[in-house]
A and B are shown apart, each in its own frame.
Chain A
Amino acid sequence: MDWLQKQMPKIVLAPSFIAVIIFVYGFIAWTTYVSFTRSRLLPKYDIEGTIQYERLFDSPRWDVAMTNLAIFGILFISISMVLGLFLAILLDQKIRTEGPLRTIYLYPMALSFIVTGTAWKWILNPGLGLESVIKGLGFENFTFNWLVDSDMAIYTVVIAGVWQASGFVMALFLAGLRSVDQEIIRAAMIDGIPTKRIYSAIIIPSMAPIFLSAFIVLAHLAIKSFDLVIALTGGGPGYATDLPATYMYAMAFSRGDLGQAASSATVMMMVVIAIIVPYLYSELRSSKND
Chain B
Amino acid sequence: MAVPGEIRTNRMFMGGHKMFKKSILASVVTAFCLTSGAASAGPEAEVLHWWTSGGEAKSVAVLMEEFAANGGAWTDMPVAGGGGDAAMTALRARVLSGNAPTAVQLKGPAIQEWYEEGVLANINSVGVAQNWDELLPAAIADHMKCEGEYCAAPVNVHRVDWIWANAEVLANAGIEMPTSWAEFNAAAEKLQGMGITPLAHGGQAWQDATVFEAVALGIGGADFFRKAFIDLDEATLTSDTMVAVFDQMRIMRGFVDENFSGRDWNLATAMVINGEAGFQIMGDWAKGEFVAADKVPGKDFLCTSTPGGGFLYNVDSFAMFDVKGDNKVAGQNLLAELIMGQNFQKVFNLNKGSIPARLDVALDEFDYCARQSSYDMDVASGNGSLLPSYAHGMALRGAQAGAITDTVTAHFNSDMSSQDAVAALAKAVANSM
Contact = CB atoms under 8 A, between A and B. Distances in A.
Contacts of B424: 60
B431 A59 contact: yes
A237 B409 CA distance: 8
Contacts of B294: none
Contact of B398 (A42, A147, A150, A255): A255
Nearest to A41: B113
B413 A41 contact: no
Q: Is the interface of B mostly helix, strand, loop or mixed?
A: helix
Contact of A42 (B96, B208, B261, B411): B96
B262 A256 contact: no
Contact of B402 (A126, A237, A255): A255
A40 interface: yes
Contact of A236 (B88, B261, B427): B261
Interface in A28-85: 40-42, 55, 58-61
Contacts of A147: 261
Contact of A126 (B114, B208, B258): B258
Contacts, number: 99
Contacts of A233: 261-262
B82 A238 contact: no
B259 A257 contact: no
A58 B431 contact: yes
B399 A256 contact: yes
Contacts of B427: 58, 60
Interface in A91-133: 121, 125-128
Interface in A205-261: 233-240, 250, 253-257, 260
A267 interface: no
Contact of A256 (B208, B257, B398): B398
Contact of B413 (A127, A238, A255, A256): A238
A146 to B, nearest CB: 10
A148 B261 contact: yes
A237 B203 CA distance: 7
B252 to A, nearest CB: 14
A201 to B, nearest CB: 48
Contact of A239 (B88, B258, B262, B410): B410
Contact of A253 (B88, B411, B413): B88
Interface string B403-433: 0001001111110000000001001100110
B127 to A, nearest CB: 24
A145 B92 contact: no
Contacts of A257: 398-399, 402, 432
Interface residues of A, number: 33
Interface in A241-290: 250, 253-257, 260
A40 B412 contact: no
A127 B258 CA distance: 8
B124 interface: no
A254 B206 CA distance: 12
Contacts of A61: 406, 410
B398 A254 contact: yes
B113 A238 contact: no
Contacts of B95: 42
Nearest to B258: A126
The listed residue with most B CB atoms (<10 A of its CB), out of A235, A236, A238, A253, is A238
Interface in B193-211: 203-205, 208
Contact of B259 (A59, A128, A150): A128
B409 A236 contact: yes
Contacts of B262: 121, 233-234, 236-237
12 contacts: A41-B117, A55-B431, A60-B406, A234-B204, A236-B413, A237-B409, A238-B414, A239-B205, A240-B410, A254-B85, A257-B399, A260-B399
8 closest Cβ contacts across the A-B interface? A238-B413, A127-B259, A237-B413, A148-B261, A255-B398, A256-B398, A238-B409, A255-B402
